[in-house]
A = this chain, B = another copy of it.
Amino acid sequence: MTTDLRAEVEAANTALYEALESADAQRMAALWDESEPDAVVCVHPGWPMLRGRSHVLRSFSAIMANTPYIQFFLTDVQVHVEGSDLGAAAIVTCTENILTAVTETDSAAQTVSTNVFRRRADGWRLQVHHGSPVMGTLEEIDE
């Protein structure tokens, strides 16, 4: 049961990156929670916080319209599920290794992301996506 739930959450998480890669605004919209639209939050790497489902979807539409090519290689993906009732939260944390053609000088980047999904009647829906740039290695930081 828990294994099934984790697989469901991981599939929902993968769908987020596939929607971005294919610049599919409809698929993107279907991923985000509609039950509590005001609680939807998104932080794009280096950005301030965006609140509200429609504001967040607009930001993704703008990003997808301005990104000729983007590909994500996810590593260190961890899925944590507690509970299976409606409203239960699942947390996915992962490293996003990104290849993109947004700029010519910065075509590869690494970000880390926390994605919070809520269980709704129709499946796991995204409530929070918080991505942030990785600007050093742990070796540099830990010393």
Q: Which A residues have a C-beta under 8 Å from some C-beta of B?
A: 36, 39, 41, 43, 45-51, 62, 76, 78, 80, 82-83, 85, 87-89, 91, 93, 95, 112, 114, 116, 118, 127-128, 130-138, 141-142
Contacts and interface: CB of A to CB of B under 8 A. Distances in A.
Given A83-B87, A93-B128, A112 B78 contact: no
Contacts of A130: 112, 114, 130, 132
Given A46-B133, A114-B114, 10 more contacts: A47-B141, A48-B134, A49-B93, A51-B78, A80-B127, A83-B88, A85-B85, A114-B130, A116-B116, A130-B132
A88 B83 CA distance: 8
A87 to B, nearest CB: 4
B43 A114 contact: yes
A95 B43 CA distance: 11
A39 B114 CA distance: 12
- The 10 A-B residue pairs with the shortest CB-CB distance, nearest first, are A132-B132, A89-B89, A46-B135, A39-B80, A82-B87, A114-B130, A49-B112, A83-B87, A130-B130, A41-B93
Given A43-B114, A114-B128, A36 B134 contact: no
A93 B50 CA distance: 10
Contacts of A82: 36, 87, 89, 118
Nearest to A139: B48
Nearest to A127: B91
